[in-house]
Amino acid sequence: MATAQQRIVAECTVVYKVESQDASDASMRQKATKTVYIKSNNARIDLVAPSYTQSTIYNKTTATASVLRSFGEDKYMTPLNTKQWRSINAALDSIQIQITGDSATILDYSCKKAVMKLKDGTLVTVYFTAAIIPSVREYEYMFKDIPGFVLGYEMIDAAGIKTAFRATQINLYNPVSASKFDIPTKGYRIIELE
């Protein structure tokens, strides 16, 4: 039996469909689109929902991030230094990960299933492919210890609402523009963390 070759991906774009379902309604409804861009040591996540957009731009070299939020015409930016980035993600440092024997195929990638248990008891079901590994893993801090690229996951919040993320497109070949990782210098109200 041949072993799949692992490939470190230093440049890619992945688009995810985000759907939600509450406990009183069994149907899933699309709520948003999530797009992940990776280029070398930089990553950007764009979450676009009907009422807002949020982008997180992460630099692995400096371990810093900027979070950009837009609600209609109102735009806010929160710059995060290394200490602040680690602080807001501290609850995700002791996640218990159990890789199960189950699998699924997402975008022609064979994905293993893992169940993650967060400190607060929240369970997150993750589907990842070991065939590709992102060059930047901390951009989505919850998945930094997953041994592959996460192409699907779902979680249920305290109110019983299930949210599922599933990759619908992956592009490993077209270059990602360096300008995607530029931090805006105007047009945003700065919200500093203490």
CATH number, domain of 110, equals 2.50.20.10
CA distance from start to end of the chain: 54
42-48 and 189-190 as β-strands: parallel, antiparallel, unpaired? unpaired
Question: What's residue 118's pLDDT?
Answer: 86
Give the count of domains, the chain.
1
Structural domain includes residue 173: yes
- Maximum pairwise Cα distance, the chain: 56
Structural domain includes residue 2: no
Structural domain includes residue 73: yes
Domain membership of residue 37 as a residue range: 7-190
Per-residue b or e along 32-44, where b marks 16 or more CB atoms closer than 10 Å to that residue's CB: bbbbbbbbeebbb
53-59 and 42-48 as β-strands: parallel, antiparallel, unpaired? antiparallel
Question: What's residue 3's pLDDT?
Answer: 44
Question: What's residue 6's pLDDT?
Answer: 82
Structural domain includes residue 60: yes
Structural domain includes residue 42: yes
Structural domain includes residue 1: no
The Cβ of residue 13 has, within 10 Å, a number of other Cβ atoms equal to 19
Structural domain includes residue 118: yes
Task: Profile the chain (194 residues) by mean pLDDT over runs of 10 residues.
Answer: 69 95 67 95 95 95 96 95 93 90 96 92 93 92 94 87 94 95 94 85
Structural domain includes residue 181: yes
Give this prediction's pTM.
0.91
